[in-house]
Structure 1
Amino acid sequence: MSDLRRVLAGIGPALVLLALTALGLGLDNYPKFVISIALVSMLVGASLVVLVGLARCITLAAASVMAIGAYTSSLLAIHLGIPYLIGLAGALLTGALAGWLIALPGTRFRGHNLAMVTLVFQSVCIILIREAKSLTGGAEGIHVPAPTLFGWTVRTDGDFLLLIGVFSALAVLVLTVLVRGAFGKNLQAAAGNEVAAEAFGVSVPAYLTAAFVVSSIGIAFAGALSAPRVRILDPDSYGVLPSIFMLAYPIVGGMHSIWGGLLGGGGLRMLPEVLRPVADYQELFFASLVIVVVMFFPGGLVELIRRAVSVVRRPADDRRAASEHTAARRPATVQPIVAESPEPLLQVAGVDKHFGALHAVNSARLVVPVGGIHGLIGPNGAGKTSLFNIVSGFLPADAGRVTFDGTSLLDLAARDRIRLGITRTFQHVAVFGQLSCLDNVIIGRGRNGVLAAVGQSLDEFRGSAHAAAARNEALAALDAVGLADLARTPAGSLSLGNQRRLEIARAIVSDPRLILLDEPVSGVAEAEIDDLRELLLRINAERKIAMLVVEHNIPFVAKLCRSLSVMGAGAIVAEGTPADVIALPAVRQLYFGEDVAA
């Protein structure tokens, strides 16, 4: 049954488009025309979900991208006699090129700056179309010939509806597979927490570029499908106002699922037909609708529907909350401690880092042995965070060496460390809140390149053995930290203690050799600190994973770590066992402010 639900969830949006097509074929010509245009808008809405919803990138260039697709397929047919199907393929290519061009500056900006970049692209495209009169017909426009497919000439309203419905459904199917699969989840991770995403192999620039490209391909394809239906192409039909109107599709419908794009695109495109008796007030109604949705239903109409459904499921939610409470209190059984190897795994030697006149890290050195648990403590401003960020790859060093099992780390990007067997947690919990616990941990496996994610998305849709293996590995990691019962729960709804456990599960799922723990009990309730310490000891013993721990909680560090380094003024001032180091008068004076003489 679960396999059937997975398949239906994947093909459901496409089936809805096909059902609308079948319904429209039995209606009069004008309703057929309206449904055809609505289907195109649904495809545009689904495409914008990828960019606006998942990647959180505002675009005001959707209409120009649609124009690029429409003009590409039409001009190929008019000037070169290219068949319609090849023209559609040409629209896909030019759409991808347009998305890539927007992404070049677009991946460097956010918010209003990004909106301005896309607005410039929109304006330039329309100006070029208007001025290239010999090619595009300029402001007067061009007449689009009727398409022919395998000897079938598309002429009637029914023919156009069938053509647009089938091709739109195919395009939406592809988008659904990507959005529901690893590609969409990694994209949400990249947009939600860039630092955490990079730490687990998600290249944020690559994914944002891919979001622009995929979204633009879908929008350009929609433009090519609609071009023969509208018959006359002119640049004014693809101006700034249509771009703003398209941006409202995912906002009103719901930005985080394909259903939102379909609901917003189809609903807003059909709404003018409903509002014909008050046509003079259409713009006011649209503006009011957007404001109401943004203020009261940030998740769009899809969220409104889910709220209604959640009323029925409230008892199940109560049971889930009780399960979470139980998981948070689940005792950890400490396994026998495995003796660490004298062989060094992570070596830091002579590392320096300056911030202007501030010498943040001064010839720092430390060694984490194979299977060892090494702590790094020091007062605020001692340089711990700077050294930790150098080791984890988020801060370049000015001098020195950092090696892992003989491999230099200083020239590697943060995302590349997971391939060597290094993972991490964060001082401020960095789970991907909109994703489930299971999806968070699957991302922790580290196989998150864009092309790899596209393949994994297809595997998930097909229910392949690779997808099943990834789920099983993630479930095993969740079980190791006591969160297996919450695998389907959104990570953002967990308590802080359970989010810390989730971070640990995400860190161990790739079977690393070293975990970098950045204040693992920061903000955690006192009652849970011992449980987390015992959990880390058990993981170290069972999985032979070494750990480098930065922490302010001295009792926690003393009970967890087998060796300890103390930093002061950027330098390592003491090393040894926790008991010996903490007892040193110089350390107590530095860390606790005690008088050395006393």
Structure 2
Amino acid sequence: MMSPRVQLLLILAAGAIFLVVFRELGPSGYQLGLLMRTMILMIVAIGLNILIGQAGLVSLGQAAIYGLGAYVAAWLAVRHNVSFLPAIAAAILASACCGAILAYPTVRVRGAYFAVITIAFGLVFENILIEWLSVTGGSQGLIGIPRGNVFGVVLTRPIYFWVVAVCLFFAFVVQYNIMHSRYGRAMRATAQSESASRALGINLAGMRTLAFVISAALAGLAGGLYAFLNLYVNYETFSFFHSVSFLLMVVLGGLGTLLGPLLGASILTYIAEALQNLREWQIFAFSVLLAAVMFVMPRGIVGSLSDLYHHATSRARRREAEPWPNHQISVEPAALMAEHQTDAALVTEGLTVRFGGLTAVDNVRLSVYAGTVHALIGPNGAGKSSLLNLISGFYQPTSGDVLFFGERVGGRQSHELARRGMARTFQNTELFGQMTVLDNVLVGFHTHYASTLTETLLRLPRFRREEFAFRERAQQLLCLVGLSDYADDEARHLPFGHQRRLEIARALALRPRLLLLDEPAAGLTHGEIEDLKRLIRLLADNEVTVILVEHHVEMVMAVSDHITVLDYGKVIAAGTVADVRDNPKVIEAYFGRGNLSLKRPDRLLPEPVEIGGAK
């Protein structure tokens, strides 16, 4: 299979050849203008593909941002005689700022709410264009835009053709560099699992705002180019209908694919031209044709063809079961060190959380020592997972505090705690199902990248070094959990036991000082549980503190150094394995008061067994 870089070079080479051949054929002025309009719409579609295909945010106000770029460039050129390059730069900046302002309230909602907010913005913008006569020219628009010039060269239509082509090339490379970077992986992660993204240190609002700003900036670039192509702008070009058209371009071409926006924009633009003779039946014919294509290719043209290609070329291969954990692979402790060294990795001080009249965690005081395995056990509904959510920042405490290596972190957001070295898995696996196994682990390294967005977009040396190093380390972590043979598979296709392994490998990519495991043995076979025991002890031996929530009592006894027992949100017992095993309150919590007469606590909690020399 070709690498993404080779694919990019082939796509760019094919595009360059097409443009050169097209110009040599001597197209008419109408054909040249139509192709330029198509390329401009491709730029808008590329930006929308980053927003929808990567970040999973459906915007129906893209035409308004496109129009903002066009009107800013036109207003500067007509009213202030600003030349081409400054006007285009202002269009990009104004649209990007508008995107950032619009993103602030909107990225905190999802689905239909997000779409409704962007629709409202588009409708308000359209009315502003009509009513603000002194600036926008009202329904007449802005006319008499001078033909642009760059460094004294007048941008005639043949020259302007290449200017638009260069801008399309720039937009396409931006899309590629975003998709194949930590930013693109983080955007896709936030679209597929918000909880897992937060647990890996990703700021959801920040990442979605970035996607919105990049999308808006590209729309502004396209708007500025459109103004200098048409030499006038009018509100009718930026209506809600055009926002729907942009969305259809991306969906038809294939969400999240490189070529999808280009193909979708080309098809819709040229089909609209071909159906003009149908007059009032144009929209009907267009809709029927579009519906038929989407019925046959539900993932868009490029996405569906890509699936067919992979299905036709992939051969079933036998995967050998790899032993895990692989002791030849080292476990990296977190590089982040606490300001004040302490023996306690985690301390909770009277931690309490209430949901209405229900107290899920009640005044819990807990001390977890560094480099140990500390188990939390108790009957169903005892508050174990709620306590884990409080510790990791997914719940905000009603009262009490949390000290993480001596630092007070109670009430902090989960992504902030993850950046301090607190990782976790979930009771129900929270994988990024439509991403590859390798990319799932690479998302775990997100907070450890030092390269900036500029370095990423320009592919500067530090970005290349980091990407190579983290990919190599991700492969090692997959080898640690026995999944190196599945690196290129989508995570959703893994067997359930392998998904548990992958979630642990992804958490280890964070280089945690504290790892919270929420029922990691659930759904595993006996052999997988034995492997999991060895992995947990291996982590503790490598100075990774583990808090284990688990119902598999034999496993808890085998791997734990300390145990805390919860019942109805309260701590009823705490201490070593022997202390807890013989505690009457623990027996009562599990079997009820009537079973205290059995006098057989050893039947509840078995003796610890040795695992690699540790008890």
CA distance in 1, matches of 2:72, 2:399: 53
Matching of residues 212-361 of structure 1 within 5 Å: 212-276=212-276, 278=278, 280-315=280-315, 318-319=316-317, 322-323=318-319, 326-327=321-322, 330-332=323-325, 343-361=343-361
For residue 225 of structure 1, report the CA deviation from its aligned partner: 0.9
Deviation of residue 202 (structure 1)? 0.7
Instruction: Please tell me whether the aligned partners of residues 62 and 219 of structure 1 are also in contact (alpha carbons under 8 angstroms).
Output: yes
Q: 1:100 to 1:276 in 2, by over 3 A?
A: same
Structure 1 equivalent of residue 59 of structure 2: 59
For residues 294 and 373 of structure 1, do their structure 2 counterparts lie closer, same or farther at Cα, with a shift above 3 Å needed? farther
The letter of the residue matching 1:571 is K
Give the direction of change, closer, same or farther, for the CA distance of 1:566–1:456 in structure 2 (3 Å limit): farther
| CA RMSD, Structure 1 to Structure 2 (Å) | 2.6
Instruction: Tell me which residue corresponds to 2:99.
Output: 99
- Per-residue deviation at 1:235? 0.4
Q: 2:15 & 2:280 partners in 1: Cα distance?
A: 30
User: C-alpha distance in 1, partners of 2:159/2:249?
Assistant: 26
The answer to whether the 8 Å contact 1:201/1:448 transfers is: no
C-alpha distance in structure 2 between counterparts of 1:290 and 1:378, whole Å: 56
Q: Against the structure 1 CA distance between its residues 331 and 397, is the aligned structure 2 distance closer, same or farther, given a 3 Å change threshold?
A: closer
The answer on whether the counterparts of 1:66 and 1:238 sit within 8 Å (CA) in structure 2 is yes
Q: CA deviation at 1:146?
A: 0.9
Relative to its length, the structure with more helix (as a share) is 1
Segments of 5+ residues of structure 2 without an aligned counterpart are 332-340, 599-615
Question: Which letter does structure 1 place at the counterpart of 2:307?
Answer: R
Deviations 1:493-512 (A, max 9, x none): 21111111111111112332
Indicate if the aligned counterparts of 2:255 and 2:303 stay in contact, CA closer than 8 A: no
**One-letter amino acid matched to 1:145:** P
Q: CA deviation at 1:110?
A: 1.9
Describe the superposition over 1:521-548 as per-residue Cα deviations: whole angstroms up to 9, x where unpaired: 223334422222222222332x221100
Q: Where does 1:201-220 land on structure 2 (aligned, <5 Å)? A: 201-220=201-220
1:540 is aligned to 540
2-structure distance, mates of 1:97, 1:39: 24
What are the superposed Cα offsets for residues 334-365 of structure 1, whole Å, 9 maximum, x if unpaired?
79xx9xx9932212232122222222212212
Distance (Å, rounded) in 1 between the aligned partners of 2:372 and 2:290:
56
Alignment partner, residue 16 of structure 2: 18
Q: Do structure 1's residue 439 and structure 2's residue 439 form an aligned pair?
A: yes
Residues in 2 aligned to 1:386 and 1:419: alpha-carbon distance in whole angstroms: 21
Map 1:465-480 onto structure 2 (within 5 A): 465-480=465-480
TM (norm. structure 1) is: 0.91
Q: Which runs of 5+ in 1 are unaligned?
A: none
Alpha-carbon separation, structure 1, partners of 2:206 and 2:449: 8
Which runs of structure 2 are paired with 1:398-437 in the superposition (5 Å)? 398-437=398-437
Q: Aligned runs of 1:117-132 on 2, under 5 Å?
A: 117-132=117-132
Which residue is equivalent to 1:523? 523
| Cα pair distance change 1:297/1:170, threshold 3 Å | same
Q: Distance in 2 between matches of 1:564 and 1:209?
A: 43
* Partner Cα separation in structure 1 for residue 451 and residue 357 of structure 2: 44
Instruction: State the identity as a percent.
Output: 31
Which segment drifts farther, 41-50 or 521-530? 521-530
TM-superposed CA distance for 1:253, in Å, is 0.7
Cα deviation for residue 383 of structure 1 reads 1.4
Q: Distance in 2 between matches of 1:57 and 1:237?
A: 23
Q: For 1:461 and 1:258, how far apart are their aligned partners in 2?
A: 24
Stretch of structure 1 that moved more, 15-24 or 375-384: 15-24
Alpha carbons 1:11, 1:176 under 8 Å: kept = no
Q: In the aligned structure 2, how far is the partner of 1:449 from the partner of 1:122?
A: 37
Confirm or deny that 1:174 pairs with 2:178.
no
Distance in 2 (CA, whole Å) between partners of 1:139 and 1:563 is 74
Contact 2:449 2:466 (8 Å CA) reproduced:
no
> What are the residue-to-residue correspondences of 1:41-120 with 2, within 5 Å?
41-120=41-120
Q: Partner residue of 2:364?
A: 364
Matches of 2:206 and 2:16, distance apart in 1 = 33
Which amino acid letter does the alignment assign opposite residue 264 of structure 1? G
Following superposition, the deviation at residue 562 of structure 1 comes to: 2.0
Q: Choose 137-146 or 81-90, whichever is displaced more.
A: 137-146
Deviations 1:91-135 (A, max 9, x none): 111111221232122113222222221111111111111122232
Tell me whether 1:389 sits opposite 2:409 in the alignment.
Answer: no
Distance in 2 (alpha carbons) for counterparts of 1:226 and 1:180: 29
Paired residue secondary structure (1:28): coil
Quick check: 1:150 aligned with 2:151?
yes
Contact 1:13-1:258 within 8 A present in 2 as well = no
Relative to structure 1, the CA distance from residue 282 to residue 178 in structure 2 (aligned partners, 3 Å threshold; closer, same or farther) is same
Q: Please give the alpha-carbon distance, in whole angstroms, between the structure 1 residues aligned to 2:182 and 2:42.
A: 23
Separation in structure 2 between the aligned mates of residue 450 and residue 244 of structure 1, nearest angstrom: 38
- Once residues 461 and 9 of structure 2 are traced to their aligned partners in structure 1, the CA distance between those partners, rounded to angstroms, is 9
Deviations 1:269-293 (A, max 9, x none): 1222344554554322332344345
- Alignment deviations for residues 416-460 of structure 1 (CA, whole Å, 9 cap, x no partner): 223322211111111112222222212212417998456446548
Cα distance in 1 for partners of 2:13, 2:527 equals 51
TM-score, with length taken from structure 2: 0.89
CA distance in 2, matches of 1:256, 1:287: 23
Equivalent-residue separation in structure 2 for 1:308 and 1:282 (angstroms): 32
The 1:211–1:279 alpha-carbon spacing in structure 2 relative to 1, beyond 3 Å, is same
Q: How far apart are residue 405 of structure 1 and its match?
A: 1.4
Displacement after TM superposition at 1:333 (Å): 6.6
Matched residue type, 1:76: L
1:301 aligned counterpart, secondary structure? helix
Q: List aligned pairs for 1:136-147, cutoff 5 A.
A: 136-143=136-143, 144-147=145-148
Contact 2:254–2:299 under 8 Å retained in 1:
yes
Other-structure match for 2:5: 7
Query: Are the aligned partners of 2:550 and 2:556 in contact in 1 as well (CA < 8 Å)?
Result: yes
CA separation in 1, counterparts of 2:547 and 2:149?
Answer: 65
The one-letter code sitting in structure 2 at the alignment partner of 1:97 is: C
Shift in Å, 1:332 = 4.2
Contact 1:85/1:149, CA 8 A, preserved across alignment: yes
1:33-83 Cα offsets, whole Å, 9 max, x none, are: 221111112111111111122122121111111111111111111111111
SS at structure 1 position matched to 2:428: coil
| Aligned equivalents of 2:108, 2:327: Cα separation in 1 | 47
- Range moving further from structure 2, 216-225 or 363-372: 363-372
- Against the structure 1 CA distance between its residues 450 and 167, is the aligned structure 2 distance closer, same or farther, given a 3 Å change threshold? farther
Q: Deviations over 1:467-525 (max 9, x none)?
A: 21111222221111111222222222211111111111111123322101111122333
> Which piece of structure 1 moves more, 452-461 or 508-517?
452-461
- Matched with 1:587 is 586
Give 2:577's aligned residue.
578
Question: Are 2:46 and 2:171, in contact at CA under 8 Å, matched by a contact in 1?
Answer: no
* More deviation, 461-470/346-355: 461-470
| Matching residue's letter, 1:7 | R
Partner of 2:335: none
C-alpha spacing 1:472/1:252, structure 2 compared with 1 (3 Å): same
Change (3 A) 1:453 1:537: farther
Equivalent position amino acid for 1:351 in 2: L
